[in-house]
């Protein structure tokens, strides 16, 4: 099915609390054209007013990550651990806190244990070959694809209270 004929996913209708489930979608992360992660064995989390947030298995990584001291807390998933990564083309360029995981997730999200989520940038992220855009606002980690109904997505100016 072409992207033009795919039905739109409407984040307004995604559940709260969020749903965590396996997705058959092909996910890739590339940096300067170099593949750094590739999988068809991922989870997505669907939450009201958010595009999907994808979690890739550690086995999908082609590069090494280092933990940072940063953490955050999600009311649904628990405490997140963050990572740093060196640019494969320029190893002196290190990006911190744009990748995270839940090492001890809450019961409803236990499948995410150790799986990694990437903000969409500075690298390029792909879903089924389509390059994604980041969820507006740079606070949330959702991936925007052409099948997402954009008018219902939280994160940009004026959408905080949804």
Q: Is residue 130 part of a domain?
A: yes
Q: Is residue 51 part of a domain?
A: yes
Q: Is residue 116 part of a domain?
A: yes
Two tokens, residue 59: 């086995």
Q: What angle do CA 103, 130, 77 make, to 5 degrees?
A: 20
Q: What would the pLDDT profile of 91-147 be if each residue is shown by its tens digit?
A: 999 999 999 999 999 999 999 999 999 999 999 999 999 999 999 887 789 999 999
Q: Is residue 123 part of a domain?
A: yes
Q: Is residue 76 part of a domain?
A: no
Q: What angle do CA 62, 112, 25 make, to 5 degrees?
A: 65
Two tokens, residue 84: 């740093």
Tokens 């980690």, residue located = 141
Say what the pTM is: 0.92
Q: Is residue 50 part of a domain?
A: yes
**What's the mean pLDDT in 38-45?**
98
Domain that holds residue 45: 3-59+106-152
- What's the CA gap between 147 and 126, in Å, rounded? 13
Q: Please give the tally of structural domains in the chain.
A: 1
Q: Is residue 73 part of a domain?
A: no
Q: What would the pLDDT profile of 57-79 be if each residue is shown by its tens digit?
A: 999 999 999 999 999 999 999 99
Q: Is residue 162 part of a domain?
A: no
């Amino acid at each position: 099915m072409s992207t033009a004929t795919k039905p739109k996913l409407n984040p307004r209708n995604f559940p709260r609390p969020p749903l965590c489930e396996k997705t058959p979608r092909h996910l890739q992360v590339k940096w300067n054209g170099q593949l750094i992660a590739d999988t068809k064995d991922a989870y997505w989390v669907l939450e009201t007013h958010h595009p999907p947030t994808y979690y890739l298995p550690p086995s999908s990584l082609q590069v090494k990550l280092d933990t940072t001291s940063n953490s955050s807390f999600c009311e649904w998933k628990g405490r997140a651990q963050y990572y740093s990564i060196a640019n494969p083309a320029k190893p002196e360029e290190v990006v911190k806190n744009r990748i995270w995981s839940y090492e001890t997730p809450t019961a409803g999200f236990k499948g995410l244990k150790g799986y990694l989520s990437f903000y969409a940038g500075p690298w390029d992220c792909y879903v089924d070959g389509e390059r994604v855009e980041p969820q507006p606002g740079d606070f949330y980690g959702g991936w925007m694809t052409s099948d997402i109904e954009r008018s219902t997505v939280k994160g940009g100016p004026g959408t905080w209270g949804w």
